[in-house]
Amino acid sequence: DPVRVAVAANFLSPVEVIASAFEAAGGEPVEIVSGATGQHYAQIINGAPFDVFLAADQARPARLLEQGLAIEGSVFTYALGRLVLWAGDGHQLPDNGFAGLVDHPVTRLAIANPRLAPYGRAARDALQATGQWQALQPRLVEGLSVGRALHYLATGNVSHALVAASYTHARGRPGGAWVAVDPSWHESIRQDAVRLVNGPNPAGARAFMTFLKSAEAQTILQGFGYRAAGEVTEP
């Protein structure tokens, strides 16, 4: 059996590179399933057979542990993510950065679903913290995951999007310009990984988790704009 990894949409590009490195280093083949953190969580609850869950938050892996669906002691924070404001091709970024969004010609602003995707939640928090949430409400478009939010931008259906910084490093990223969102406007995006009870390949999962912690993997994810979290296990 391959190692089946459910990954939060923001981390799809890095995990593809990491998986190749893992396989190159003699690891078993890795199968990747991307989606919003909340979607993965709901599927795991309903019996989805994943070996590893790379979430975009800490809450859902923790809940899986409580429910006995994740393996005790396997949780660790593999990355700290960041949010960027992206202006699509032919659109401008606000002159005074993220906080100026509300006065800027934004036709539509795509975010991930705040209830399913941690990046969506961070986007909402940041908009609220800067007092722009109410005013932008009529122009907001929700994608189920942060990947879908970016997709709306890529197809030209929205002018701006609030997405993961990792996309600025992704292959096939859409054109346009981006600017980082000050992380102080939202809770930090701490992304936890966990091994799952129902996975068909526990040994492979363990090997993959070990590799994820390796310097090689950490270097890869830093290359996508994440901050490495080292081997920080949840207190």
Partner 1 sequence: MSLSAVWISLQLASVTVIVLLVIGTPLAWWLANSRSRWRVPVDALVALPLVLPSTVLGFYMLILLGPAGPIGRFWVAATGETLTFSFTGLVITSVLYSLPFVVQPIRDAFAAVGRGPMEAAASLGARPIDAFFSIACPQSARGFLTAAVLGFAHTLGEFGAVLMVGGSIPGETRVVAIAIYEHVEMLEYGAAHTLSAGLLLFSFVVLVAVYTVNRARHPVLLR
Q: Which residues contact partner 1 (rule: CB under 8 A)? A: 4, 9, 12, 31-36, 38-39, 41-43, 45-49, 107-108, 110, 113, 115-116, 140-145, 147-148, 150-152, 154-158, 170, 172-174, 198
Residue number with CB closer to ligand MOO (76 or 204): 76
Tell me the window of 23-31, 84-92, 118-126, 201-209 that interacts with ligand MOO (CB under 6 A): 118-126
Q: Which two tokens stand for residue 28?
A: 């078993």
Q: Which two tokens stand for residue 113?
A: 């679903």
Q: Does 76 bind ligand MOO (CB under 6 A)?
A: no
- Any idea what the Cα angle at residue 196 is, between residues 48 and 75, rounded to 5°? 140
Q: Does 112 bind ligand MOO (CB under 6 A)?
A: yes
Of 6, 9, 64, 109, the one binding ligand MOO by CB under 6 A? 9
Contact 44, 64 (CB under 8 A): yes
Q: Which residues pair with 189 in a beta bridge?
A: 81
Q: Which residue has the tokens 């799952």?
A: 196
Residue number with CB closer to ligand MOO (104 or 152): 152
CB under 8 A, 24+ apart: contacts of 57-62: 57/118, 57/121, 57/189, 57/190, 57/191, 57/192, 58/190, 58/191, 58/192, 58/234, 61/192, 61/193, 61/194, 62/192, 62/234
Tell me the window of 13-21, 111-119, 197-205, 212-220 that interacts with ligand MOO (CB under 6 A): 111-119
Residue number with CB closer to partner 1 (26 or 172): 172
**Separation CA 10–CA 145 (nearest Å):** 8
User: Residue 119 touches which of partner 1, ligand MOO, none (CB < 5 to 8 A by kind)?
Assistant: ligand MOO
Give me the residues that bind ligand MOO (CB under 6 A), please. 8-10, 36-37, 56, 112, 117-120, 145-146
